[in-house]
């Protein structure tokens, strides 16, 4: 069979020629033939959806399993009652907002739709594609067009007419070239025969956009994981290994930087890598496919299938792919990558480093923390967290109130002076208070670390070691300085007498205490603040390197 190529990339201008090509394609379809057609998502392999013999040819050409139903492509919502029964009003709400566009709705079917199209199900998938050429062809054909993605079964979907020819040349009657697909991943499939509606396949329309219009949507398990034995996804097609290049694929999830580093630590010479643009330089000895910047999910969607396909023309033995997060189009891009990997997924360790910084007044803790901030760290000031908790944390407040009745005023505010009087004169009472704080503070700090999107944290606490906060840290760092220097610094900083400065220092733990209990020491023996800043910079850079290397070693 010869596959006729219709070039309709440019539909402005030669009106007659365009119309002729559209009529020719529509005629093939009406007469039971197969035509590759462009849509905004991926190319489809179209046939008359009401003609069971034509539909059978689709399954043959693709090598598609018979139990996998096809989507009917309509010219608009006005066609819904012809093919669907019991249509809920919400279907029209969705169609008004999102059609033409990348949304497929599963509805009850009418008997006019043959079993071949629905694979014997009593439901049918319908969508109105957003591509002027294909809309014109459907209108001209006057029948709904059944169209799966135009790839050979199991291969990555086609996002250009060239891809279609690669898989289907000689097996189908024609291909209509409408340019490359603007969305790049298939339509989102939403089952409207159940309540609440259920997402069967993430796609070109985001879950968030759908939920904004119609409220909560359940997500089918097949979207995020592989099916267990005997388990049936509701979209039959979701159970097949799919989109797979010939070489095995490993998907790495996690923050972009972390997943890039994770891949960099694993790849060998000659492997394939699918990565975000900004990390390409990490893979000089690999075959790299960039799918866009990590923040540009539309470009990722447009490029993901082409990237997967490209490796079949190369010698790569293994492929690693960075996975976007699940927001917006990321859910669909990630789903396609994971399916291509047969759900072989590795979670990149966040590679988070948590440092505990402690030491006496005047030693230079603040400068050390500023340096860590310059290095991208988030500083958690535990004194501040403690005061916030005194005001807001019900559990800690209750515990304090039980131990020191009357320290909270009628308006709920803590009378700090009163609490101070209670504990400062009596050691046992201070210990009691500390015990309470040390119970509630570390978990709260831990929660804050987990909730923040950063790779480096500095926990700033004078009682880091006593409170148990040190257990959250990869390393504890004692900032120390000669006593005479500290005396002078405190005098200048707090504008106090030498005698008072010495008194304050003697009331605190000694450098020796911190030195012996912390993992490492940053000594500030310099008269010049700028010198210490530079020293601290070098010290922390080296420390972070060591810790990150250790962590990487552990993952592999
Ligand atoms: O964007 C798209 O949807 C593209 C373009 C060409 O429109 N088409 C597409 O078709 O992706 P296909 O056949 O590759 O994927 C259709 C998916 C399959 O997973 C199939 O199992 C599911 O839709 N499906 C079709 N009818 C269904 C039904 N009645 N109930 C549940 N799932 C259905
Ligand atoms: Mg498909």
pLDDT digits (tens, 9 = 90+) for 522-539: 999 988 889 999 999 999
Q: Tell me what pLDDT residue 349 has.
A: 65
Q: Tell me what pLDDT residue 275 has.
A: 98
Q: Identical fold at 249-347 and 353-555?
A: yes
**Cα distance between residue 408 and residue 102, in whole Å:** 58
Q: In 52-122, where does DSSP find H-type helix?
A: 52-62, 80-83, 89-98, 115-118
CATH architecture of 353-555: 3-Layer(aba) Sandwich (3.40)
Cα 313 to ligand 1 centroid, rounded to whole Å:
27
3-state secondary structure of 56: helix
Query: Atom 30 of ligand 1 has which residue's CA nearest to it?
Result: 235
Cα 127 to ligand 1 centroid, rounded to whole Å:
10
Q: Is the pTM of this model over 0.75?
A: no
Cα 56 to ligand 1 centroid, rounded to whole Å:
16
Residue at token pair 């279609």: 164
Neighbours of ion ligand 2 (CB under 5 A): 149
Q: Tell me what pLDDT residue 44 has.
A: 98
Strand residues in 323-420 grouped as ranges (E): 345-347, 353-359, 378-381
Q: Tell me what pLDDT residue 450 has.
A: 67
For 210, phi and psi rounded to 5 degrees?
-65, -45
**Cα distance between residue 477 and residue 463, in whole Å:** 12
Low-confidence residues of the chain: pLDDT under 50 = 555-556
Cα 151 to ligand 1 centroid, rounded to whole Å:
13
Nearest bound ligand to the CA of residue 58 = 1
For residues 369 and 428, the answer to whether their CB atoms sit within 8 Å is: no
CATH, domain range 4-223: 3.90.870.10
Per the document, the length of the chain is 556
For residues 446 and 343, the answer to whether their CB atoms sit within 8 Å is: no
Cα 147 to ligand 1 centroid, rounded to whole Å:
8
CA nearest to 455, candidates 254, 232, 241: 254
Ligand 1: lining residues by beta carbon, under 6 Å: 39, 41-42, 44, 68-71, 102, 104, 106, 118, 121, 123-125, 129, 147-149, 186-187, 189, 200-201, 234-238
Nearest bound ligand to the CA of residue 154 = 2
CA nearest to 194, candidates 86, 297, 271: 86
Cα 320 to ligand 1 centroid, rounded to whole Å:
27
Nearest bound ligand to the CA of residue 243 = 2
What is the best residue among 163, 172, 235 to mutate for testing ligand 1's pocket, by most ligand atoms within 8 Å of CB?
Answer: 235
Give domain limits for the chain: 4-223, 249-347, 353-555
**Cα distance between residue 510 and residue 231, in whole Å:** 64
Nearest bound ligand to the CA of residue 147 = 1
Cα 528 to ligand 1 centroid, rounded to whole Å:
69
For residues 474 and 547, the answer to whether their CB atoms sit within 8 Å is: yes
* Fold that domain 249-347 belongs to in CATH: Rossmann fold (3.40.50)
Dihedral sign of CA atoms 115, 117, 120, 124 in order: negative
Ligand 1 atom closest to 123 (CA): 29
């Amino acid at each position: 069979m010869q596959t006729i190529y219709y070039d309709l990339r440019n539909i402005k201008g030669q009106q007659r020629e365009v119309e002729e090509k559209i009529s020719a394609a529509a005629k093939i379809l009406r007469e039971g033939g197969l035509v590759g057609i462009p849509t905004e998502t991926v190319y489809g392999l179209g046939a008359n959806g009401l003609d069971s013999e034509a539909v059978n040819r689709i399954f043959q050409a693709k090598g598609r399993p018979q139990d996998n139903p096809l989507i009917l492509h309509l010219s608009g919502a006005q066609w819904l009652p012809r093919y669907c029964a019991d249509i809920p009003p919400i279907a029209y709400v969705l169609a008004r907002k999102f059609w033409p566009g990348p949304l497929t709705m599963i509805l009850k079917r009418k008997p006019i739709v043959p079993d071949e199209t629905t694979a014997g199900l009593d439901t049918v998938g319908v969508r109105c594609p957003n591509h002027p050429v294909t809309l014109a062809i459907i209108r001209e054909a006057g029948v709904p067009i059944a169209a799966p993605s135009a790839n050979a079964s199991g291969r990555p979907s086609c996002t250009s007419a060239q891809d279609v020819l690669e898989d289907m040349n000689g097996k189908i009657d024609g291909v209509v070239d409408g340019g490359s697909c603007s969305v790049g991943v298939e339509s989102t499939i939403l089952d409207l025969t159940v309540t609440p509606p259920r997402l069967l396949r993430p796609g070109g329309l985001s879950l968030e956009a759908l939920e904004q219009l119609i409220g909560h949507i359940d997500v089918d398990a097949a979207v995020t994981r592989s099916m267990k034995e005997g388990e049936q996804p509701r979209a039959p097609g979701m159970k097949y290994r799919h989109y797979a290049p010939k070489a095995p694929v490993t998907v790495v999830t996690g923050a972009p930087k972390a997943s890039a580093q994770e891949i960099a630590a694993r790849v060998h010479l000659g492997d394939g890598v699918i990565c975000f643009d900004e990390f390409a330089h990490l893979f000089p000895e690999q075959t790299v496919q960039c799918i866009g910047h990590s923040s540009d999910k539309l470009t990722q969607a447009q490029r993901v299938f082409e990237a997967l396909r490209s490796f079949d023309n190369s010698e790569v033995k293994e492929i690693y792919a960075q996975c976007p997060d699940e927001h917006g189009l990321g859910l669909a891009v990630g789903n396609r990558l994971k399916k291509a990997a047969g759900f072989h997924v590795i979670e990149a360790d966040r590679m988070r480093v948590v440092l505990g910084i402690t030491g006496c007044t005047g030693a230079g803790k603040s400068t050390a923390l500023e340096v860590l901030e310059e290095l991208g760290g988030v500083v958690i000031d535990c004194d501040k967290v403690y005061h916030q908790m005194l005001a807001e944390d019900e559990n800690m407040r209750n515990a304090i109130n039980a131990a020191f009745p009357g320290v909270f005023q009628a308006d709920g505010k803590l009378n700090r002076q009163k609490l101070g009087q209670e504990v400062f004169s009596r050691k046992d009472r201070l210990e009691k208070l500390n015990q309470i704080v040390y119970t509630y503070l570390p978990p709260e700090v831990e929660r804050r670390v987990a909730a923040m999107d950063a790779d480096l944290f500095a926990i700033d606490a004078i009682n880091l070691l006593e409170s148990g906060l040190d257990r959250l840290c990869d390393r504890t760092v004692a900032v120390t300085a000669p006593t005479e220097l500290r005396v002078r610094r405190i005098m200048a900083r707090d504008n106090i007498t030498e005698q008072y400065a010495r008194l304050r220092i003697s009331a605190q733990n000694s450098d020796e205490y911190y030195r012996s209990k912390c993992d490492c020491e940053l000594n500030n023996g310099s008269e010049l603040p700028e010198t210490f800043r530079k020293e601290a910079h070098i010290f922390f850079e080296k420390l972070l390197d060591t810790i990150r290397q250790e962590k990487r070693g552990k993952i592999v």
